[in-house]
């Protein structure tokens, strides 16, 4: 089963006459991944990350910024040891429920209910960590949780 789904909410995405997407050249994978898991549009996510980055004097796609913002959004970080090698494709196969933002060297991808969403098939890339989205019993994001509660992984 192919778990890759083309996904690019960036308003600049262009398509060939036959409907296939043109090659993507922008470094906005973090924005695309968050857009997918948060069910939000690209501009809103970019604006949120930019404002948060400005308040913390960081770039919107800086990994350290994500370490600050994701816990406030209700995500927990999970890491893999250097001896564990798992591809994005295998991760998606074994994580058939839930929403995840998956980190790979130099790239970030959304995995939602066992499918990974990207502008190209990155399924053979090895992942280093992931952020899992958690919800309370009423289906609400637990925004009241403080980042200090997530020390370690």
DSSP string computed for 48-78: HHHHHHHHHT--TT-HHHHHHHHHHTTEEEE
Burial 99-114 (b: 16+ CB within 10 A, else e): bbbbbbeebbbbbbee
**CA-to-CA distance for 102 and 92, rounded, in angstroms?**
10
Give yes or no for residue 36 having a pLDDT over 70: yes
User: Tell me, what's the pLDDT at 19?
Assistant: 86
Banded pLDDT at 152 (limits 50, 70, 90): very low
Q: How confident is the model at residue 132 (pLDDT cuts 50, 70, 90)?
A: very high
100: pLDDT confidence band, cut at 50, 70 and 90? very high
pLDDT at 6 over 80: yes
Backbone angles phi, psi at 28, to 5 degrees: -120, 30
Q: How confident is the model at residue 61 (pLDDT cuts 50, 70, 90)?
A: confident
Residue 148 reports pLDDT greater than 70: no
- pLDDT, residue 135, reads 63
Q: How far, in Å, CA of 33 to CA of 110, rounded? A: 4
CA–CA gap between residue 51 and residue 107 (Å, rounded)? 22
146 has a pLDDT exceeding 70: no
């Amino acid at each position: 089963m192919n778990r890759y789904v083309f996904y690019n909410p960036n308003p600049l995405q262009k398509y060939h006459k036959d409907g296939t997407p043109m090659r993507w050249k922008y470094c906005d994978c973090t924005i695309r991944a968050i857009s997918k898991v948060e069910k939000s549009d690209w501009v809103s996510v970019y604006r949120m990350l930019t404002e948060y980055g400005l308040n913390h004097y960081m770039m919107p796609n800086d990994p350290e910024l994500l370490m600050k913002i994701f816990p406030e959004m209700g995500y927990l970080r999970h890491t893999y040891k250097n001896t564990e090698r798992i591809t994005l494709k295998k991760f998606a196969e074994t994580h058939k429920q839930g929403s995840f933002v998956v980190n790979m060297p130099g790239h970030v991808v959304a995995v939602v209910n066992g499918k990974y969403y990207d502008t190209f098939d990155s399924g053979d890339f090895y992942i280093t960590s992931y952020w899992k989205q958690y919800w309370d019993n009423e289906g609400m994001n637990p925004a009241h949780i403080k980042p200090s509660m997530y020390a370690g992984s």
